[in-house]
Structure formats: C-alpha cells, structure tokens
A and B are shown apart, each in its own frame.
Chain A
C-alpha cells in the first residue's frame, strides 16, 4: 500500500520535475538541447529495449530504423510537402515496413547469426544512402554523405517551431516522450508483451501453449521499428537534418550503453539509461577521443558486474539502506 503510494508519488514528482525544468534552464540553450536529446534518445532506447530486452532478439540494426524514419519523413516533407506531423507517422510506417521485411529472414536466425545480420545494416545502409546522393535521383536525392538538410519543422496553430526557441520544442518533445513511453508500457503490459516475455523465459512451454513465435517476432520487429522510425522523423525535424553519420558506430555504441546501463528488459530502465548516458556523454566531451573508449568500457563492466544495469545499483542501494536501518533498529532494541 505505502509502497504503491510512494511509487505513484515519485512518478508524479518526476513528471512535475520534467514539466518545470524549463523554468530553471530556459535561457541556457545548451542545457535545453541536451534535455531534448535525452527525451528523444529515451524513446529510441526504450524501443530498442522492447526487442533486445523483452523479446531477447539480438537486433543490432536498430539505428537503421531510426535513420530510415528520418529520411522517409524528410524526403516526403521536402519533395511532396507532407506536414511534419504526418511525417512522424510516415517515418514510423516506413521504418515498420523495413523492420517487418528485415524480421522475415531473421525469424529463422538465433543468437550470433541474428546479431551479425542486423549489425551489418550499420555498414550497408550508410553506403546505400551515400550512393543515392546528389545526381542519382532527381526528386528523391538523399543528399549523399552531407545528409538531408533543411527538413521543415512542424507548426501548431500558426506557431512555427524554430531552433531559436527551445522551450516549445522541449514541451513538444516531452509530450512525444510520454506518449511513446506509454505506448511501450501498454505493449509490455498487454498480451503481446506477455507473449514476448513467455517466449524469452520459457520458449518450449510458451510454444506448447500455442504462442505463435513467428507472429510475435514479426510484430516486435515492426512495433519497435515504428517507434524508432517515428523518433528518427522527430529528430530530423528538430535538427532539420538527417545524415548517414547518425548510423556511425559511435552513435550505435552510445545507444547500446543507454539500453544496457538502464537494464535490459526492465521497463523504464532504458529511458532512464538514456537520460544518464546522454548527460554522461556530454560530460565526457572534454576527454575527446577517450569518450568512446570509456563508453565501450562501460558496456563491458555493466555486463560483467551489473547485468541488470541501473536496477542492480538501485537494489544494492536498497540493501545498504535496509542494513543501515536494521543496524539502527537492532542497536535500539538490544542495549549493549
């Protein structure tokens, strides 16, 4: 009871904190930008966790969905004039279709095979994007290695979002974040999520009870790709740019650290990890090239010493607290 109340209170407190953050930082564009990035990467990390942590599929090509979403919405907005709002959905749908197509051959793959096939996307997709650059397709040029620039920002009731004012962007991102995290939460709590977890924890039993493995694997590919693609479309309209550099291995590494550090398959974990690692990543900037070495080392240490990520730290803190409380109580009850 009390626990539940505390949990709800802390959630409401967290939301309130998120809602009033701009009051503290509204005149510091740098910090506002980082917080907005936290929200966007939070969605991406949580959607990756859906496939990596909940369905336990080694999909290492998740950023390709992000980038495909960005390009799809950007191209549609630039060359057809689709409004960014619809672009977010279109980016999601494009990524979901690709995710579904990638999911089909991956149905038969396990472990390292799946890991390699999906990981290769990080090398194949950028080269294809660069190839489809200037001079290849008249009306649908991807802009080559420079990326697709001047992607329009959304507008609401006549107000056009601009990079000069980050507070409106912040609230838009917060809404976006809350919406997608709620969707992910609902997916996890629904029968679909139950099926993922059943397939992950006890595959033979789940199959014997008639859980259709193929259906749910394709579904998780498409769903997580949709969310990542939509986030990519949002990212593209926020920076008014999407480029193959978003698929560089360092971006892959950073998002991987977010998911692992936040904890695989523990729901808000990946999003929390995204917040922490985005900030850590910014704090590490002065270390220059060491930054990525440190992040890679975090991956190794996390998997070795705290496989549940941040949840392990919290559990450890909880145990410490309990021990301290117990010591105090026992010292009270038994006067020495």
Chain B
C-alpha cells in the first residue's frame, strides 16, 4: 500500500468517525438524561436523510443550503414530539425500563417501514455539501470530506459549550446526574427529557446529511450506524466524553482499513466482536470509570 492510499483511507476513516461521534453523542445524551436507550435513533438518522432528500433533489427541489437548516429544525421538533407521544406515557408503568426497550424497538421498525411505504425500496442519494476537490500539498481530497471533519468537530464543540455554559445545558447535566435532586430544585423534567430527544434528533440528522452522500439512503440505513455508535459508547465508556471521541475515531479507522483489506461485510462482525470482548473483559470501556 502506498502512502497515497494510506492517507486516503485514513481520511475516510476520520470523517466516518465524526458521524459515529455524533450518533454516539445523541445516544449518550438521551441515555444520560432520560435513562432510555433509544433504538429509534437509527430511524431518526434515516428520516433525517430522507427528509433532506425529499426537500432538495428528490421532490421539492429547494436550495440545498436552505434545506439543511429546515431539516435540522424539523428533526429537532420531531425528536421532542417522539418523546412526548411515545416515551412520556410509558413512565408511569411499573418496570418501564423493560417496556421502553421493546417500544423504541417497535417504533424503529414501524418508522423504517413507513419510509418503505412513502419513499419506496429504491435507494436515494443526497447531494454532497460541496462538490469539487481541494489540493493540500500533493494530496487531493474531496471538499465534502473536509467539511465533514470541520462540521463534526464544530458540532462537538458547540454541544460541549451548550452543555457547560447555557442554562438548559446545565439543567440537562443536572438531570443526568440526579433527577430526583433536579426535580426538587424545580427543574422542568418533562421538558428537559424532550429537549434531550430533540438534540438527538438533530444530531442524527446532521450525521445523515454528512454520511448519506457517501453511502446512499435506503430504508434500513440507520441500523448499522446505530449499532456502531453503540459500540463506540461502550468502548469509550458510557458518559465518558474523551473516551467516546477516541473510540469513535479508532473504530471508524479500523472499519475502513478492515473493509479495504478484507471487504465491507466484515465491518459488522468486527464491531460485534469488539463489543462482546469489551463487555466481557472491560465492561466499563477502555477509559471508563463510572
């Protein structure tokens, strides 16, 4: 393998990592705040991608740079509605943590098949953020890849600032640390739960807009990203931000190189193997202390 291929693969891996990072942040935030593991987040991913497709090249033909903010806002609101309609009513059940896993799984399967009903089984493609390439020294990279990296890092920084500087962000963290205490001091728990789901919806939509130009959109597209994001969380340690970042990039780079040498089908087995080995030998993740 020459240096050129190596750099290209590395770049592909790193950019893929930003997508996994965003999905993982969504899952972690929702799990931390609401204690729900949201199986339906893979469907948020697919829906975000399909919505962008529908508004832009697919049907309505709007300007793509207008479509992106609309998609993000819609997915944020959709996430909040999802929490209000599906998750909130479940909270009054005894043993709801059992129920909620099956319900989000059911939702996810229903939502995926709704995509099949509305958009059909043929795969769709959405535009790159920017066409064209960029020359860095003697390497040629796609502008979309550079933007993936930039946007990924920006989103990460914005989310961290949001969680540590704004009132809502601090409230979310308070709820995730101690929701009884948060309730006692008068934080609006139900609203915060919805906001967490909304942010997860938004992050999934960003992930879809970044990744879908590369992988195409099909009804079950969200699943592999969701499962891989879960492995990222476990590897990094649940709730460990630094660990999650390292895990996202390590796994995505490993995936790209493995796919290059052995073929793409080995990606999922790799992730499952990593997951099983980790959960058995280091259940708190590589960097974990919780």
Contact = CB atoms under 8 A, between A and B. Distances in A.
A130 interface: yes
A112 B220 CA distance: 20
A283 to B, nearest CB: 17
Nearest to A292: B113
B184 interface: no
Interface stretch (B51-59, B73-81, B102-110): B102-110
B276 A105 contact: yes
Given A249-B220, A289-B117, A290-B117, A116 B275 contact: yes
B158 interface: no
Contact of A131 (B101, B227, B265): B265
Contacts of A111: 37, 97-98, 101
Contact of B109 (A105, A290, A292, A307): A292
A37 B22 CA distance: 43
Main secondary structure of the interface of A (DSSP, over half): helix
Interface stretch (B13-21, B86-94, B125-133, B210-218): B86-94
A291 to B, nearest CB: 8
A303 interface: yes
Interface in A272-327: 288-290, 292-293, 295-297, 299-300, 303-304, 307
Contact of B269 (A105, A115, A127, A292): A127
Nearest to B117: A289
A128 to B, nearest CB: 7
A253 B109 contact: yes
A293 B279 contact: no
Interface of B: 37, 86, 89-90, 93, 97-99, 101-103, 105-114, 116-117, 220, 223-224, 227, 230, 234, 265, 268-269, 271-272, 275-276, 279-280, 283
Interface of A: 56, 58, 60, 105, 108-109, 111-113, 115-117, 119-121, 123-124, 127-128, 130-131, 249-250, 252-253, 256, 260, 288-290, 292-293, 295-297, 299-300, 303-304, 307
